Each structure stands twice: as structure tokens, then as C-alpha cells.
Structure 1
Amino acid sequence: MRVTQSMLSSNFLRNVSNSYERMGKYQEQLSTGKKVTKPSDDPVVAMKGMNYRTELTEVQQYQRNLGEVHTWMDNSDAAMDKMTKALQRTRELAVQASNDSYEEGQRANIAKEVRQLKEHLIDLGNTKVNDKHIFNGTSTTNPRFDKDGNLDTANANSAAVNIEVSDGVKIRVNTNPSNIFVDSESGQSMMEALENFATDLESGETGETGDQLDDHIENIDGFINQVVNERASLGARMNRVDMIENRLNSQEITTTQVLSDNEDVDVEKVIMNLKSQESVHRAALSTGARIIQPTLMDFLR
């Protein structure tokens, strides 16, 4: 095949254009820090990047969900801790009132403190966090008790509030208020039991041998145990949440690393490639200047 000057010129221009394109690619990689800027650059890398980024987004959403989980659980645990202390103080007062040396007026004064403790427990039962009542099941917009400690039967429930913390894994973040505020044997509510206790103290109805006060002490002990048991159940779920959180943190680190390995450029390698391509480009230009033959105009100068 006869090689003409035109063919040499065309090949030279095509090769120079390709060289510019390669240098432009390396410069773009350095400026963006990414291997690809559009799917056509490398469809495989682009598709993997989409999958890894979706996975990372899901992990980060679950981590945000865990923040909500901690809010519910930490506040529930703190409220039940205060409930336990209030009930323990109520028990101390019941034991104190059972002393035979106490007169009716002294027991009436104890009743006043019992009612204050009842008010405190009502406030704890209506604990509100982030504009949500955490001891009223899924009816989070309504308080569980009215100001007298009566259950809001129209709105109260003990249903589970579940939050997804991993793919297909949901955790109950609230407690079962029925296990806290309702006696498991008699069905009597905590507030009703405390009101009856205060009323008996005021009226002097303590039984001939103080057995009526003993019944109140037994009721209070039952509520203390129920709060402790529900708090233990919550604590077990909190431990599980901590393990899930550690796993999600590890997943985030791993996914971020894999995403970086897939998309991010090796800066040192790209710089070396760019320098090498610049050398090749200069050599090509130099060679092209020698290949292209002088024209008649060069001799007429």
C-alpha cells in the first residue's frame, strides 16, 4: 500500500487528538478525585457505585433511626427510675404509718405526701418527649392520665411502637404501660391504689391490727416489682440496640471504604500517568514535525 503525505498527516492528527483526550481524562480525575464522572466512562464502576451508595444511605438512615430509639428508651428508663424512687418513698410512708404510736392526725399528714407522690407519678406517666407521650402506646399525641390520675379510656392503649433499625429488624422502643400502671393480679390501677391508701390514712381505716396498711404495703411492693421488671425488659432491648448500633457503625466504615475503593482515584498513580502521557504527547509532536515534509512555501521564504 502506498503511504501518502495525506495519510501521514491524518494519522498524526488523530494520534495527537487521542493524546489530548487521555491527558484531559487524567486532569479531570485529578480535579474531581473520581475515576468516572459519567456512566459511559466505566459502566461497571458506575453500577457498583450506585449499589454501594444505596447501601450506605440505608445504613445512615438506620443510624438516624437509632437516634430516635435511644430517645425513647433513655427517657423511658429515666422515668421508670423516678417511678421506682417515688414508690419506694410511698412504701416508706406506709411502713411509717403502720407504727401504732402514730395518731390519726399524723397519718393524715402522711396522706398529704402520698397524694403529692401520686401527682408526681401521674406526671411521670404522662412523660412527653419530642412532643410524644412515651407511656401511652401508639396514641402518642394523648396523655395516659387526666389530672386526677384516671385512665383516658378513649385514647389510651398499650400497643407497641416499633422502629426499624436494620433490614427487616424492628425494635419495640416503648414500654408496656399496662405492665407498669395496672396490678397484674387485681387489675387495680397504680393511681387508684395510692388514692385508696391516702383515703384510708385520712379516715383512720387501717384495720384493727394494721392489716389494712399491710395490704397497702403489699400493693405498693407489687407495683415496685412491676416497674423493675418492665425496666429490666427495656434494659435487655437497650443492650440489643447497642449491639445493632456497633454493627451499623462497622457497616458504615466498610461500605464507605468499598465505595471509595470503587470510585476514588489513586492520586499518585494518576499524576504518574499524566506525566507519562505528557512526555508521550511531546514526543509525538516532535516526531510529527519531522514526519510532515516541507512544502514549496518553506523553500520560498
Structure 2
Amino acid sequence: MIGRVTQQGLQRASLVQLQENISRMAHLQERLTTGKVVLRPSDDPAATVDAMRLRADQRTTAQYARNAADGDAWLTTVDDALGDALTSLRRARDLTVQGANTGSQGPSSRSAIANELRATADSLLEVANTTYLGRSVFAGTSTQAAYTTTAAGTVSYTGRTGAEVLRQVSDTTSVRVDSAGADVFGVDVVDANGELVRDATGEPAGMSVFSLLREIAAKVEAGDEDVSRFLNDLDSRLGAVLGEVGSVGTRHKQVLQAQDAISARQVTLTNQVSSVEDADLAQTIVDLQIQEVSYQAALGATSRVLQPSLLDFLR
């Protein structure tokens, strides 16, 4: 049995189909304008989930990139400071060797050497208090300067021993970006009055490189004939600095490698997001043209079927 098709029913069905055709054209036009195939979750729920996951990965990778850049800057600052420390210590060693030649040095020469040694100690103290963005790079996680001079003239380490400054550069890798100032420059062993603790022979029980240079300066100025005994202490401090230079270099290389990996990861994630979200513009243009042709054909067919008046119907 064939159901009765009325003019009104035909009009309603035609308008619904034309509206669907226009809706598809609008969707294609929106896709062409934005260049995106997923504009709202309802467009493709599965692709939306993938895009959200990829964008979360992008945010995480961007944070790792910022961490690595900050770590690079920290380690560059530390490396530059250690280079300055090496230069100063080598000069101090040369001065100590020169000051040990007591037979060829007069009071004025010894005084000049002593003054330069004290100036070297002061410059080393400035190096030890090197900062990056207001944070000392040799004080661990402390916000204070790594070293301060006490009223007794000794030097006090005010950093946090064992508290490392770390930067997370991947899901599984964190890199130390500071340097242990107490290990590099040493610490004064002092009594309750802040004076250097000395043994029975009058030699300090332990001291920082700053106090060591001032001790050498005092002995040189006084004409001590055994200044060369301090060379082993200086060599020990030079070895500590050189060892830290190697450690910083290794960690710096690790950060630079992480930056390369992060850059590659960012490119990969960008391509993956594009493959999920971006529209194929060439295909979209073809689809839109096909839809326009279909719409024009539908309009022509509908204009012949739908009779707007009784005279057109009778004709």
C-alpha cells in the first residue's frame, strides 16, 4: 500500500533536507576558515581525547624546556665563576712561590706580595658569592650569600650544606645546577670567639681558601722562611676547583642534551597535534564544492516539485 504524499509533507521534507545541506556547508566552511577538523568535542570525541592528551604533553614539555633553560643559565654562571676562581688561585700560587724566596725579597717586596694575596682573597670571596637572579650559586637552596665575613676576620659559610638546587628536565631526570661552595672554597674551623682554631704549633686546624690566602699573606709579610709549606694546601684547593669544573661540565652537557631532546619532542608533539586537529584543506575545498553543487541541484529540484500557488499546480 502506497501512503499518501501531500504537498505540505513534501514541502516539509524538502526544507529539512535543504537545511541539512546548508548545515553541512556551514560546517565545511567553518573547517576551511579555522583550518581545524576538531572544533568542539562533539565533532570527534576520540580525536578530542587524543588532542587533550597531546596538549597536556606539550604543556609538560614546555615546562621542561623552561627548566632546562634555567639550568643552563645556572650552570653557565657556576662555570664562569669557577673559571675566575682558577685564575685567582693560580695567581695566588705564583705569588706564594715568589714569596717563598725570602732571600731575594725585601720588606717592600714582601708587603706588595702580601697585599696582592689579600686582594686575591677578596676577589675569591666575591666569586664565591656569585649570584644568578638574586640567588647564590654556591649556597645550595639558601637565599643568603654563600660566605660572610665575621667580626673576627674569618669567613663563615652561610649556605645550606647538602641542599641541592635541582631542575627537572624530563619525566625521569633531574640535574643539579648549583655548586657546593663549602667543598670548593672550604670552611673555616673557628672557636666560640670566631677565631681560627690552631694546633700546638700555631697552624690552623682547618680554613677556607680566603683565610688560607690571608694566612700566607701574613707569613710572607713577616718574612717567614717556610711559606712554601702552604703550596700543598693551595694545590688541594686548586684540585677541588678543577674537580668541580669537571662535575659542572658533565651536568651542563646533560642539560644541553636534554634541551636537544626537548626540542625534538616539541616538534613531534606539534606534528601529532596537527595530524589530529588540522583539516586537510585541499580535501575540504573539494568537499565544499561538491556540497555547493549538491545544494544548487537540490534547490533546482525542489523548485520544480514544490508548487507555490494553485495556478502553478494546475499548470
8 Å contact 2:72–2:256 — kept in the other structure? no
**Alpha-carbon offset, residue 188 of structure 1:** 2.4
Cα deviation code 1:124-178 (max 9, x no counterpart): 011121011111111133342337561145x553421111111132111111112
| d(CA) in 1 for partners of 2:297, 2:253 | 67
Q: Within 5 A, what are the aligned runs for 1:48-197?
A: 48-99=50-101, 100-146=103-149, 148=153, 150-153=155-158, 156-182=160-186, 187-197=206-216
1:294 deviates by: 6.1
Q: What residue in structure 1 maps to residue 302 of structure 2?
A: 288
- The 1:292/1:176 distance shift into structure 2, 3 A limit, reads same
Change (3 A) 1:149 1:129: farther
SS of corresponding position for 2:149:
coil
- Separation of aligned partners in 1, 2:68 and 2:17: 57
Over 3 Å counting, the alpha-carbon distance change for 1:168 and 1:84 in structure 2 is same
Hey, what's the Cα distance between the residues in 2 that align with 1:146 and 1:249? 44
Please tell me the residue identity of whatever aligns with 1:285: L
Conserved? CA contact 1:127–1:134, under 8 Å: yes
Provide closer, same or farther for how the CA distance between residues 194 and 77 of structure 1 changes in structure 2, counting only shifts above 3 A: same
Provide the aligned length of Structure 1 versus Structure 2.
294
Q: Which residue of 2 aligns with 1:202?
A: 221
Tell me the CA shift for residue 220 of structure 1: 1.0
1:2 corresponds to: 3
Per-residue deviation at 1:2? 2.1
Normalized against structure 2, the TM-score is what?
0.88
User: 2:110·2:221 contact (CA, 8 Å) conserved in 1?
Assistant: yes
Unpaired runs of at least 5, structure 1: 207-211
CA separation of 1:149/1:136 partners in 2, compared to 1, >3 Å: closer, same or farther? Answer: farther
What residue in structure 2 maps to residue 240 of structure 1? 254
> CA RMSD, aligned part only?
2.1
CA contact (8 A) 1:164 1:170 kept: yes
1:122–1:149: 8 Å Cα contact kept in structure 2?
no
Distance 1:160 1:93 in 2: 35
Question: What is the Cα deviation at residue 101 of structure 1?
Answer: 1.3
Kept after mapping to 2: 8 A contact 1:79/1:127:
yes
State the secondary structure of the residue aligned to 2:174: strand
Q: Helix, strand or coil: the match of 2:279? A: coil
Deviations 1:198-246 (A, max 9, x none): 110111123xxxxx22211221111111100011011011111111111
Aligned 8 A contact 1:134 1:140 in 2: no
* TM-score with structure 1 setting the length: 0.92
Between the aligned partners of 2:273 and 2:98, the Cα distance in structure 1 is 67
Would you say the 8 A contact 1:125–1:145 is kept in 2?
Answer: no
SS at match of 1:163: strand
Aligned-pair distance for 1:279?
0.2
The answer to whether the 8 Å contact 2:157/2:182 transfers is no
Whole-angstrom CA distance in 2 between matches of 1:48 and 1:128: 43
Q: Any gaps of 5 or more consecutive residues in structure 2?
A: 188-204
CA–CA distance in 2 between the matches of 1:126 and 1:25? 63
Following superposition, the deviation at residue 299 of structure 1 comes to 7.0
1:142 is paired with a residue of what secondary structure? coil
Percent identity, aligned pairs only? Answer: 31
